[in-house]
Amino acid sequence: MTQYYELYRSSSIGAALMDSLDELIVEGLLNPHLAMRVLAQFDKSISDALSNKVKTRITFKGSLRTYRLCDEVWTFIIKKPSFKFDNEELTANKIKIVACNARKPGEA
């Protein structure tokens, strides 16, 4: 079975899913092993959806404050980024970008 990153579990939808699963486990309505399988399927589904369904292109610029590479995961902290997509432009004080290898094991 291919392992997927657990990055999106901290998103609002991932957090809501984990809260719901925790509540079902506490109430005795769900086996913890099954909850882990649901989370693994969530990791796969969100990764596949973002890879195959999202077609919007975005460009951004800002000041690179920090970057690091650990266990093949890049983390970037960008100060005062501005984003351009479609006909919109957004700005923020800072953002954190986490980038992982999108290739599955064995792919060149």
- In tens, the pLDDT along 89-106 reads 999 999 999 988 766 555
**Residue 38: Cβ-neighbour burial (10 angstroms; 0-12, 13-18, 19+):** middle
Q: What is the pLDDT of residue 104?
A: 58
What are the structural domains of the chain? 7-52 (1.10.287.190), 59-100 (2.30.18.10)
pLDDT tops 60 at residue 23: yes
- Residue 78, pLDDT score: 97
Going by C-alpha positions, the residue among 3, 7, 4 that lies closest to residue 15 is 7
Instruction: Say what the pLDDT of residue 4 is.
Output: 82
* Residue 39: closest CA among 64, 20, 57: 20
Task: Give me the pLDDT at residue 69, please.
Answer: 94
Could you tell me which residues come within 8 angstroms of residue 22 by beta carbon, excluding any fewer than 6 positions away? 35
Write out pLDDT tens, residues 27-82. Answer: 999 999 999 999 999 999 998 898 899 888 899 999 999 999 998 889 999 999 99
The two structure tokens encoding residue 104: 């599955």
Q: In this predicted structure, what is the pLDDT of residue 17?
A: 97
Tokens of 108: 């060149």
Q: What are phi and psi of 92, to 5 degrees?
A: -150, 165
Asked whether the predicted pLDDT for residue 9 surpasses 90, the reply is yes
